[in-house]
A and B are shown apart, each in its own frame.
Chain A
Amino acid sequence: MFVIYGCGTMATEKRPQTRNKTVGAFGENAVVDFIRQQGATIVDRNWRVKEGEIDIVAQLGDGSFAFVEVKTRTSITYGHPLESINSSKAHRLQRLALAWLATHQSLGHEYRIDCVAVIISANGKFTIEYRKNVL
């Protein structure tokens, strides 16, 4: 697990739904930067099918894929972000990963699923908790 601390500014709007989207996009961007810093390539973002969405697909140096689920929160009042990934969501992530590999003719490649928690505090600072190969 890595924990990194960063700082950024986030545009916030009044309407709650739009705000959530902004928060989510902010977190995902932060994670994409983080993955790039680690030397991996971002292959796909927000890949969406009927069943759901994969936030980030990255290809690592050894050719294997990492499917990344990002959870962003501005407070932990309602629990840790990663706690919201229950078993049905975990299974869906597995299915989505296989679906992505199938549509990209990459079945048989090594892959793993990572979950990332981004917690943004009120002053714009954020922390990234990156957990590899969690499922």
Chain B
Amino acid sequence: MTLGQSLTVALFGLDGHVVTVEADIADGLPAYVLLGLPDAALTESRDRVRAALVNCAESWPNRKVTVSLSPAWLPKSGSSFDLPIAVALLAAQQVIPAERSSDIAFLGELALNGHIRGVRGVLPSLIAAYKAGIKIAVVPWVNRVEAQLVREMTIIPMEHLGSLLRWLRTGERDVVQELDLAEDACESPFDFSDVAGQERARLAAEVSAVGGHHLLLMGPPGAGKTMIAQRLPGILPTLSREESLEVTAIHSIAGGLSTRSPLASDAPFVAPHHSATRVAMVGGGSHTIKPGACSLAHRGVLFIDEAPECDSGVLDSLRQPLESNSITIARAIGSVTYPAHFLLVLAANPCPCGKFSGRGRNCTCTSQQVRRYLGKLSGPLMDRIDLRVQVDPLSRVELSRLELGQTSATIKDRVVAARSVASLRFFQEKWSLNSEIPSRALRTKYQPEKSAMNFLHSELDQERITARGLHKVMRTAWSIADMSGHSRPTLADTQIAYSLREGSGS
């Protein structure tokens, strides 16, 4: 038999397809044909595999080699096919027992000396393999922690093709130290106690964390907008295992988890620069459709500093994921859906020069400039932002105060408590966060107290608030009620919510 086979996984977005790699060695002039819609990186696998095999003292078949990756219709990309191709070729040459390699999934890029290099997307690949009934997977050594997250599979991390072949032939493995799978509790360097003063912004951040309300921080440079945004993930509830897996899978596809430790259970914080393109924000690409910043911030915080400086359209491209909590990217090779359930935090200066605060005495901007600047934050986008707060520069008194503000841990405890109240209340419903209450439910089942409604209706009558704005205030009021232990938003809760929406002083 001059036929060999191995298994691997091709990723398309977060969806993995199990791919059978078949290798046939036929008589004929030395040639190598790779079938199954490979991209450039995959076509180059030939030379990597060849060098790796030769340098591991294996022979390269100087005959007509046909390698087929099926299903053939699926476009395949990336270098993770090197290892399965090498295994299939060796199985075809009968230098490794075929029955040992046929039900194992292989992932890995080969270095020319046979070293197995790390690849992207190991976690989603293995999840797909497991769903397809594969029980054993060989992964690159550097991806072992990520791979071990799929606890149901037997993971064989390998560092070198030579040791893999020895294992396939004899079942012997190099001595492997057992992994310590304890979740690493990495302390965030950012704590809310570092923030001096800014009571309103702190309150807004807490409300935002409780109800998942999007937040706009407006204030002059140096007032602490970025500081507050950076500390927001620290007060979000710890991710559950499922959520952590989701987040890890996305980060794994985006870039080998360099941005995140595989077992991290804290909410991600993604802060793209305001020069980011639309593709960087929502994801895209022509060969492989990669997740953008809004998917990387899934279950965490997407912070855009200097939001009005963003190119037009970039911010508005976030409207769809804000609505549906996912983003579907369509390209010529197909369309991919990535989850994008994030907390949006925008920061903006009050005017282009940034000095418009207090009475705005130092500001040199014309009213036209200010209007154009803030006009970049389009109406439809602002409609989705429940909380808008002014972050004023600190006074001398606030800065010199010695007592520290509350720590992130204290706030987080309150957030977790308030969220559990909300999730109990919404037990029967399709949503679990206050910011997700549909407006119909707000009018019927989830109305604030009578006095609060009277207050809101009078504001509506005086045209200080729109109907949509009214609903936003009601949602925020629910979060504040959860924090203060009220079973239904009171007038006071609603007034706080109203002031947080309008961004007024108090």
Contact = CB atoms under 8 A, between A and B. Distances in A.
A83 B27 contact: no
Indicate the member of B27, B30, B62 with the most A CB atoms within 10 Å: B30
A-B complex: 9 closest residue pairs judged by Cβ atoms: A80-B62, A134-B28, A83-B30, A134-B29, A1-B27, A85-B29, A82-B30, A131-B27, A82-B29
B27 A82 contact: no
Interface of A: 1, 80, 82-83, 85, 90, 115, 131-132, 134-135
Contacts of A85: 29
10 contacts: A80-B30, A80-B62, A82-B62, A83-B30, A83-B62, A115-B29, A131-B28, A131-B29, A131-B63, A134-B27
Contacts of A80: 30, 62
B51 to A, nearest CB: 13
Interface string B26-41: 0111100000000000
Contacts of A134: 27-29
A110 B363 CA distance: 93
A42 B285 CA distance: 60
Interface string B1-35: 00000000000000000000000000111100000
A135 B28 CA distance: 7
B231 to A, nearest CB: 62
B252 to A, nearest CB: 39
B59 to A, nearest CB: 11
Contacts of B28: 131, 134
Nearest to A115: B29
A1 to B, nearest CB: 5
Contacts of A82: 29-30, 62
A131 B28 CA distance: 6
Nearest to B64: A134
Contacts of A1: 27, 63
A80 B65 CA distance: 15
A80 B32 CA distance: 14
Interface string B49-86: 00000000000001100000000000000000000000
Indicate the member of A82, A85, A132, A135 with the most B CB atoms within 10 Å: A82
A132 B30 contact: no
A94 to B, nearest CB: 12
Indicate the member of B28, B29, B62 with the most A CB atoms within 10 Å: B29
A90 B29 CA distance: 9
A131 B25 CA distance: 13
Contacts of A132: 27
